[in-house]
Chains A and B, each alone.
Chain A
Amino acid sequence: MKQLAGLLALIACHAAQADEVQVAVAANFTAPMQKIAAAFEQDTGHKAVLAFGATGKFYAQIVNGAPFEVLLAADDETPAKLEAEHRTVPGTRFTYATGKLALWSAKDGYVDGQGQVLKTGDYAHLAIANPKTAPYGAAAIGTLNKLGVHDRVQGKLVQGENIAQTHQFVSTGNAPLGFVALSQVYRDGRFTSGSGWIVPDNLHGPIRQDAVILAKGGANPAAKALAGYLKSSKAREIIRSYGYAL
C-alpha cells in the first residue's frame, strides 16, 4: 500500500514536471533545433513540439490564435513587434543565434573563397530567399549591393518562399548557386557538400534571430525551461556547430 502510494506520488510528480511546449521555429534553424529539442527532452523531461516555417507566416498565425508558446524567429523585428502588441511574456525576448549567410553551390569547386564567381560566373540563376519577407534574402540583396553586382545579377534572381526552399533550388541544381543560411550547408567547421563562401559580416547587416515566450506559454513551465535551455552551454555548442555566431 505504501509502495503504491509512493508510485502514485512519483507519477503525479512526474506529470507535473514533464510538460509539452509548442514551438514555432524559423526554417533556417530546423536542423539545430531538432538536435536541441532531443537534448532538451533528455535533460529536462519536457517535450518540445516543433513547427518549422517562415517567420512572417508564424506571425499571422500567432495573431490569429495559433497555439504556439515559444517563437524562434528568423529576425529580431517580428518578436519585437509581437512584444509591442502585448502578445508575449514581457522581458523574455533574447537573441538565440546570429545567422550567417553563405553563397553556396551543390557543385564542388564552383564557388571560390572570395565569391568572385558572382562577377565572373556564367550562371543562369542565382537563388535567394524572398528579400521582402526573409531576413536572409534581405541580407543577400545587401551583399549584392555592397559588392556592386546587384544590377548585373538582377535578371538572374529566383526567389524561394523561405530559406528552406531556396536551399532546395540550389541543392537540386536548378539554380547553380544561391545565398542560403550557412546552417543549412555547414557542420562542424566545413561545408557538408558542394562548395561555398561564407559571406563576411561587413557585407550585410547582422541577422539577429530572436526568441520570445508568447502569451499562450506564460503559464507553461516547459516554455520557460526551453528559453533557459537555449542559453545553456550545451545548446550554444550545438548552435555554434551549425555555423551560427553567438
Chain B
Amino acid sequence: MMLDAADFAAVRLTLELATVVTLLLLAIGTPVAWWLARTRSRLRHAVGAVVALPLVLPPTVIGFYLLLLLGPNGPVGKLTEALGIGLLPFSFGGLVLASVCYSLPFVVQPLQNAFEAIGTRPLEVAATLRASPWDTFWSVAVPLARPGFLSGAVLGFAHTVGEFGVVLMIGGNIPDKTRVVSVQIYDHVEALEYAQAHWLAGGMLVFSFLVLLALYTFYPQAMKGRRR
C-alpha cells in the first residue's frame, strides 16, 4: 500500500466532515425544501435561486467571499468573535460551515422534488382525518419523500467528499484539522509524488462511481427528480 499516515488522516477527516455536513444539511435542507415545495410566496424564486447559487458559482468565489465574511473584518467573523467562538477559517468548524453552503443545493433540490411529487391530495386527506400539520408531515410527507431523503443525503455526502476549491481557500491545509483528501491529492501532485496521488485519486474515482451506481440502481426515480 502506497498510502502513509497523513493520507489516512486526510481520508478520516474527509469522512468526518462529510458525515457532519450531511446531517446538518438534512436538518437545514428539509424545512427549506418543504417551504419551497409548498409556498406561494413571491420570495420562493429568490430563495430557490440563492439555494442553487453554489451550482453555478466557481468554488473559489464562494471560498473567497467566505474568507472575507468569516475574517476579523467580516460581519460573521465579528459575530463569532463576540460569541467567543473565535474566527472560523482554518478550523474544522469553518470547513463545516463552508461545506454546508456549498453542498446545500445537492440536498435541497432532491428533497424539494420529492415533496412536490407528493402533491396536495395525501396531505388534504390527512387533514380531513384530523391529523395536525406536524403529524401529517412526519406520518405522510416524510415516508412518501423517502427517495428524496436518500438521494439528497447521498449526493450531499458525496459532494462534500469531493469538494476542493472551497476547502483550499478557507482551510489552511492543516493536518488532522482541515487537510482533506482533495487537498492532499493536490499536494501530492505538486510535490511530484504521483504514486500516492494515484492511490488517493483512484480511490476517489472508484468511490464516486460506486455511490452514483448505487443511486442509479436503487433509486432511479429519485434521480430523475420531478415525477407525476
Which A residues are within 8 Å of any B CB, using their own CB?
Answer: 54, 56-57, 59-60, 124-125, 127, 130, 132-133, 157-161, 165, 168-169, 172-175
**Are B189's CB and A159's CB within 8 A?**
no
| Contact partners of A174 in chain B: CB under 8 A | 67, 70-72, 77, 87, 89-90, 170
Expressed in whole angstroms, the Cα–Cα distance for A160 and B89 within the complex equals 12
With the chains together, A35 CA to B45 CA distance in Å? 46
B5 contacts partner chain A, Cβ-Cβ < 8 Å: no
Query: Are the C-beta atoms of A168 and B187 separated by less than 8 Å?
Result: no
Interface residues of B in 170-188 (CB under 8 A from A): 170, 172-174, 183, 186-187
Is there an interface contact between A133 and B174, defined as CB atoms closer than 8 Å? no
A56 touches B191 (CB 8 A): yes
A125 to B192, CA, bound (A): 28
Kindly list chain B residues whose C-beta atoms are within 8 Å of the C-beta of A158.
90, 172-174
CA of A160 to CA of B77, assembled, Å: 20
CA distance A161 to B60 in the complex (A): 13
Residue of A nearest to B174 (CB): A158
Is B68's beta carbon under 8 Å from chain A? yes
Do B73 and A173 have beta carbons less than 8 Å apart?
Answer: yes
List 29 A–B pairs whose Cβ atoms lie within 8 Å, in order of A's numbering.
A54-B190, A56-B190, A56-B191, A57-B190, A60-B189, A60-B190, A124-B86, A125-B90, A127-B172, A130-B187, A132-B190, A133-B190, A158-B90, A158-B173, A159-B172, A159-B173, A160-B172, A160-B173, A161-B168, A161-B190, A165-B169, A169-B89, A172-B71, A173-B72, A174-B67, A174-B70, A174-B72, A174-B87, A174-B89
* Contacting pair A60 B173 (CB below 8 A): no
> Is B174 a contact partner of A157 (Cβ separation < 8 A)?
yes
Known: A165-B169, A169-B67, A174-B70. 11 other contacts (CB 8 A): A56-B189, A56-B190, A60-B192, A124-B86, A133-B187, A158-B174, A159-B174, A160-B172, A161-B183, A168-B67, A174-B72
Minimum distance in angstroms from A51 CB to a CB of chain B: 16
Which of B70, B174, B190 is most buried by chain A, counting CB atoms within 10 A of its CB? B190
A56 contact set on B, CB distance < 8 A: 189-192
Would you list the 8 A-B pairs with minimal beta carbon distance, nearest first? Answer: A158-B172, A56-B190, A159-B173, A133-B190, A173-B72, A174-B89, A172-B71, A174-B71
CB distance from A110 to the nearest CB of B (A): 12
Residues of B within 8 A of A173 (CB): 71-73
1/0 contact trace for B55-77 toward A, CB 8 Å? 00000000010011011110001
Q: Are B67 and A130 in contact (CB under 8 A)?
A: no
